[in-house]
Chains A and B, each alone.
Chain A
């Protein structure tokens, strides 16, 4: 399709010169990263980032709701099928709001109980100051006022389109779609502090994603639990692998047509990784849900990090079903069920990190295509596509229990609403960019300041570049009780 030929002009040459020496190699060796990227000093501590992507666009307006100013919410959503009543809110008092009270969706109260083991809910983690809320985050090319937006200036690429907004969130570049994600690029640029292991730093338990794709880092994709870790990449025919490998080498040759090379390289990578997954580590019981099973697999891989020789890891997990144009529900129903699943799975994962003694070294964060229209649609039972959303960051290294960014003005056709007039739906222009959100996580992870511009090309447009929701390393104490 010749669209690609023209689009090439627009795709970002994000530091291509610097990495052009990183020739794509086949077979073993951390999927082709070469020593030229190694940095001289090598911290030996461990850190991991875990992305929980909420596919479809989570209606954040029903997750963090004003209590003190509930009237602002009730005025628009009151009486609709999606309204959360004031009495049902889980009350929170974020210090940075200067005395205002807000409330979480009641699903955040749900923790996972297994036998006598009880894992914290997201509300519990907030109360323990291990969860932060970053408000009204979204893709931005530069800070944008409502007047700017109405005048058509600096609008991110294809707002309100699922596939494109997922791309902008995963690449952290709002100008145009990229084919490399910030997770993969961070993995590329932190090669020197990632340890000596041959196993890939970055893994997705949720299929192939842009987020995990770097310029040299290639995504490892594994099946979630209940597939045992050593069965996720297992070849059934155990004898006579030699011919298979020789054929893969032949087809991976640079002289072969591009698509054949690509197929060969992925298969070679799979075989190399499968050799290293030799056992199925034991971790605590997780909820038997889609997200629970993915995070369980992540926990197993983290437990294997010392054995695999890794001091840095990045993971991608996801949960779908958030595109609630109709039948969103309120305290019960589609969204409530999904949020419960998130609360239980993430809370259990937090406890699993405490089990391993790395709860101050593993940070989990949410992302989503976009938030949803403040004004309901679908006969009052659902919501349509919007923009700025509230996201959550969890871990002992998080300066939790507070809001970061700015909770949006909920005024329709005013404030930060993209829309105007009597038909305004309430789509909030973000006041914090994905770039700032992601750069903060990357900074904590160990991305050098000098590498920020390469991974986050638009970051210099925003101030501050890094938000204060992560603790300084000395202050991040691991929990010892579960």
Chain B
């Protein structure tokens, strides 16, 4: 079912309009129950006839913000077209409409289009320079010191920890304009996992990350090929150096279980296919794994870049055809490879076999939906995304088409995910939505509340990777350092609920414990109250929110402040119950001086950003 993406105002699940079946009924309810609606100062300025028109305008803005919550690391509220964040602002989305905005993002350049390490493609992560020398040995590359090949006493940190990549990640997420690409790339790194826990060098990890920049809007088959031959992946899952006399099954198992088809056969709508007894049907068994493992033999890292410097940069190559298994092999669904073929030929045949399996669309599509929109998509939603994957095209309700028509087209899949009515309209299911994973919680909050003093001075050093934050803020998601190839959380994690075993899927809840729940609150406290400790040299400034722009709205009944924060953080969806709790707490603070206004702003931000209804993006 194709999307009915449009800019028509839709109801949010708050206030009286939750119960309205049609827009017209909602307007009548609005008209007759004005006193029940949380008023905004803007509305009261217009007087009664204007309320309806402005209410719709507010709804359109809220819908645009909600769209941006799914498509970026958080909406910008810039109004001025010359603001660097304007391309990903609520105003710009409203001006363009969703489809045109998607197309604009598909064509948005990367941050470093002329990076010599990735010619003609560019990247969001600066390519490592030729290796220099650390004072105490080891290769040296510092992206914070782009012109130098020596790094001094931060060499270890910048070469052997995730620090430089985490700083780049958060800088890009908080400032970059190609937000959709970054958001999709971040989701893809959680499916095609390589972790710096095991691949220690940031130079290796950079080349791995770069392939998501160029494939996020490309084709899935190309992504599968690129990741298979990526040297970091080759080391992580042992395909590098895999030989026919001592076959290693690690990559064969995970490429099937995690990167493409999963364990059980799926219908196009994501539901399990069942046998006559009602049991699931496995997609493969040990034999298929053994056969794929034999296909993936004979490959290794390409030639050393310099004496002692393994090639982390170029795709793996066939270093020995004699170590490639040339026996016949049977792959998925009985597909036979005849044998007596070279490694590269068999690799492509095997990847084709995987790519063309009917599970790929629903398996990957469901996870993309989970990362961007909701943990519990309906079968119809999944079916639509699968169809976009299978046909390579998606046509929106307004007749705008995305995708080349080739199976695996990522643009079609992304458009199908973001333009589906289930993503664009008020949720009807109690299980809709997803807990903001720590990275999204951090970036959404900072983008909503602001990280700049002015165009030049930021209130953050972008050091937000959790291993470089105080331990009382550790939320369980250390960027690019997943504990295992199974990502920080599994896609089929269920949350605890009152009616086990029928509990909603909630992947991100695998990170939500008593410890991390309080860590989130502590994070908000530290940034809102400017309490994050600094630490030289790694965290020179910390991160905080400048409350000045909000203080004028905090006076009096503070409704302007609460409305503003509601729009920025919750796309207008705050419940009356929480609004009233926040208002009581804020107005209990005297507003007679600047200190009081600051305290009010902080109290409001603290309570709203720690609210469970903000933790869950819905």
Interface residues of A (CB under 8 A from B): 1-13, 16, 23-24, 55-56, 158, 160-164, 178-180, 204, 207-208, 213, 215, 218-223, 227, 231-237, 240, 242-244, 246-248, 250-254, 256-267, 269-271, 273-274, 320, 323, 325-326, 376-380, 382, 384-385, 423
Contact = CB atoms under 8 A, between A and B. Distances in A.
Top 3 nearest A-B pairs (CB, nearest first) are A221-B513, A270-B514, A11-B501
Contact of B514 (A237, A256, A260, A269): A269
13 contacts: A2-B377, A12-B501, A164-B263, A220-B514, A235-B522, A250-B578, A260-B612, A261-B497, A263-B509, A266-B514, A274-B518, A379-B246, A385-B249
Contacts of B603: 240, 243
Interface residues of B, number: 95
Contacts of A243: 581-582, 584-585, 603, 607
Interface in B485-513: 486, 490-492, 494-498, 500-506, 509-513
B366 interface: yes
Given A1-B270, A270-B514, A263 B612 contact: yes
Contacts of B103: none
Interface in B501-554: 501-506, 509-518, 521-522, 525-526, 529, 531
Contacts of B248: 325-326, 377-378, 382, 384
A267 B471 contact: no
A161 B484 CA distance: 13
Given A326-B248, A377-B247, A384-B249, A257 B518 contact: no
B517 A267 contact: yes
A250 B486 contact: no
B578 A251 contact: yes
B246 A16 contact: no
Contacts of B376: 1, 4
A273 B578 contact: no
A2 B581 CA distance: 36
B290 interface: yes
A1 B279 contact: no
B611 A2 contact: no
B274 A250 contact: no
B411 interface: no
B366 A3 contact: yes
B238 A1 contact: no
A267 B370 CA distance: 23
Interface in B535-586: 575, 577-578, 581-582, 584-585
A7 B279 CA distance: 9
Contacts of B430: 257-258
B513 A325 contact: no
Interface in B28-83: none
Contacts, number: 252
Contacts of A250: 575, 577-578, 581
A262 B509 contact: yes
B307 interface: no
A3 B497 contact: no
Contacts of A423: 290
Given A163-B486, A235-B522, 10 more contacts: A2-B379, A3-B270, A13-B501, A160-B253, A204-B513, A207-B513, A215-B500, A236-B472, A250-B577, A259-B618
Contact of A257 (B264, B377, B618): B618
A233 B515 contact: yes
Interface stretch (B112-120, B431-439, B450-458): B431-439
- Among B241, B471, B502, max chain A CB count under 10 A is at B502
Contacts of A320: 483-484
A253 B576 CA distance: 13
A204 B513 CA distance: 10
Contacts of B378: 2
Given A2-B270, A7-B272, A247 B611 contact: yes
Contacts of A55: 484
A247 B607 contact: yes
B517 A263 contact: yes
Contacts of B379: 2, 5
- Among B434, B435, B502, B515, max chain A CB count under 10 A is at B515
Contact of B518 (A263, A267, A326, A377): A267
Given A1-B370, A236-B531, A377-B246, A270 B612 contact: no
B339 to A, nearest CB: 16
Nearest to A200: B514
B466 to A, nearest CB: 12
Contacts of B382: 1-2
